Amino acid sequence: MTTNLQQQDWWQTATIYQIYPKSFCDSSAQGTGDICGIISKLDYLKTLGIDAIWLTPIYQSPMVDNGYDISDYYAINPEFGCMADFELLLAEAHQRGIRIIMDIVVNHTSTAHQWFQSAFGDKNSPYRDYYIWQDPVDGEVPNNWQSKFGGSAWAFDSATDQYYLHLFAKEQADLNWENPAVREEVKQVIGFWAEKGVDGFRLDVINLISKQQDFANDECGDGRRFYTDGPRVHEYLQDISQAVFQKYGCVTVGEMSSTTLEHCQQYSSLDGKELSMVFNFHHLKVDYPNGEKWSNAPFDFIQLKQIFNHWQTGLSGQGWGALFWCNHDQPRIVSRLGDDKQYRVESAKMLAATLHMMQGTPYIYQGEELGMTNPGYTTIEQYRDVESTNMYQIMVNQQGVPHDEMMAILAQKSRDNSRAPMQWNNLPHGGFTQGEPWLDVASNYPQINAQSALDDQNSVFYFYQQLIELRKQHPVITQGSFCDLLPQDSLCYAYLRESESQQLILMSNFYGEEAKCTLPADLDLTAARCLLTNYQQRPMSIEDNMISLRPYETRILLIDKVLIHQ
């Protein structure tokens, strides 16, 4: 199957860079990153070649969940700076041709938000119905729904003898989207930032905003099936899209928790009625045995390929996906699926190429372009993440998991693995701060840092730079059809992207041993040229369409069909 090339929106050929501000760059020696620190690194990002920055939340917040607990949607957290700093960031980024995408959390607010402060303890508050309240059942919680962070999803308000719902931390109270006033508040918030010149929004856990209203017990799970992709979610998104997203021409990306392809086809439908694109996480659960995150297990490579194939073919011509390996909630990909010791550089490049040659919009998480690794914390006191400390308490103190075993699990799965500060140079704390960092910097910063990457033409940084440029040069990458060429191969991932005029073949060895990659016989490789590889190139030996790949080697081949038929 081939694909005719179409006119595309800017974000379909773009590469977006995610910044977790608290860990990016500290300009004031306070130990936490800030907006002025981001401004100071815009030229670095311009050199990388990215088109837009996604900022995780910088709003006023008690920071129980690192900013995903917003207490004032209209104010900047003083920890990061002030509104003037943010407006300067917008101006400086736009001057460099870089767009700004803000992260917004509208499934829940902080319990410190004035709406909740008014609602808690007062059934007559005008904001009471902004949240979800239920009476006790037999003197206990309303149902057995579980928080994503462990424990019950309900917290008690003794003054009114009711429980409020919190799908995340108890300090993150879920908003009641059934209330039209809540939806109007959300539109006003988004309009406020769009008026300032913000180019788009990443919508946190946006597919959880519609809950089934009977709040039934879940007899075969943790309750998620009653609020994931809920009954009115598409209605709500279409309403907001028409009212604000389309009015301001915003790019929108929805974070989708435990979703389905069918829903994502509708969320990101090319008619633009809901969202521009979607994040889904199925490919990052291939090292969750039986769906269990808090365990150590090798990843299922065949399943990884199956998931990518399912989403690549399923969204083609139907919707649009965000491509990503890392974010502030996921461990470092080179430590997770690659080899962060002997083949760190090779495997980091291989993983990058494998992702960036797919259809969708790639996201680079800060430090990914350097091949940053998990920090390797050795004590529970080094962790700051609420999910990690909660799970340690539950698994060690309640379930009896040995301390050493849990520490090994956290070293692989904790969200703090990606939140360890950015490594800029070989100065103390990796040049992140001149103060004491809020979270320990990985000890390998003298070897792995931005300055050394910029000084090395063979670094992971420049490989990412080349991948970004390839997407702009070759429309087959952003528009071609997708076909997994070796779905059952246990070492190699090979896929074909195809348009009317070109074929692009990606071949990647996912393991630390040599692999022989035998491509289908009907592929004519005689006219293939190698666009990019992560090893010093040697003449490509092709015999009966078999190509030998070194440990973690990747090759991107391009075939101009006109040359085949000459």
Annotation marks residue 65 as catalytic: no
* Annotated active-site residue in 51, 79, 85, 255: 255
Show the tokens assigned to 13.
């050929």
pLDDT tens digits for range 360-384: 999 999 999 999 999 999 999 999 9
In this model, does residue 154 exceed pLDDT 60?
yes
Which band of pLDDT confidence, cut at 50, 70 and 90, is reported for residue 95?
very high
Question: What is the biggest distance separating any 2 CA atoms in the chain, rounded to whole angstroms?
Answer: 82
pTM: 0.95
* Number of CB atoms found within 10 A of residue 141's CB: 16
Q: Is 70 exceeded by the pLDDT of residue 5?
A: no
The mean pLDDT of 47-61, rounded to a whole number, is 99
Mean pLDDT across 135-149: 96
- Contact yes or no for 35/81 (Cβ under 8 A): yes
| % of the chain at pLDDT higher than 90 | 92
CA distance 71 to 56: 15
The pLDDT of 441-467, averaged and rounded, is 99
* E-strand stretches of 224-359: 251-255, 277-279, 322-323
Residue-wise pLDDT for 197-213, tens only, equals 999 999 999 999 999 99
Tokens standing for residue 430? 């990796």
pLDDT tens for 223-235 read 999 999 999 999 9
Where does 114-173 sit in CATH, by number? 3.90.400.10
Strands (E), 13-153: 16-19, 52-55, 59-60, 72-76, 99-104, 108-110, 133-134
- Report whether pLDDT(563) > 70: no
pLDDT on residue 1: 53
Catalytic residue (one of 174, 204, 340, 553):
204
Predicted confidence (pLDDT) per residue in 229-253, tens digit: 999 999 999 999 999 999 999 999 9
Asked whether this chain's domains 12-108+185-384+423-467 and 114-173 adopt the same fold, the reply is no
pLDDT at 228: 97
pLDDT at 377: 98
pLDDT at 564: 54
Domain ranges within the chain, ordered by starting residue: 12-108+185-384+423-467, 114-173, 480-564
Pick 12-108+185-384+423-467's CATH classification: 3.40.50.300, 3.20.20.80, 1.20.1260.10, 3.40.630.30.
3.20.20.80
> What is the rounded (10 degree) CA torsion for 284, 285, 286, 287?
100
Domain 480-564 has CATH 3.40.50.10300: no
Q: Which residues of 475-513 are buried (b: 16+ CB within 10 A; e: fewer)?
A: bbbbbbbbbbbbeebebbbbbbbbbeebbbbbbbbbbee
Question: Which pLDDT score, from 0 to 100, does residue 545 have?
Answer: 86
Nearest to 28 by CA among 440, 328, 437, 448: 437
Note whether 131 and 116 are within 8 A (CB).
yes
Q: What is the mean pLDDT of the chain?
A: 96
Average pLDDT score over residue span 345-364: 99
Is 346 known to be catalytic?
A: no
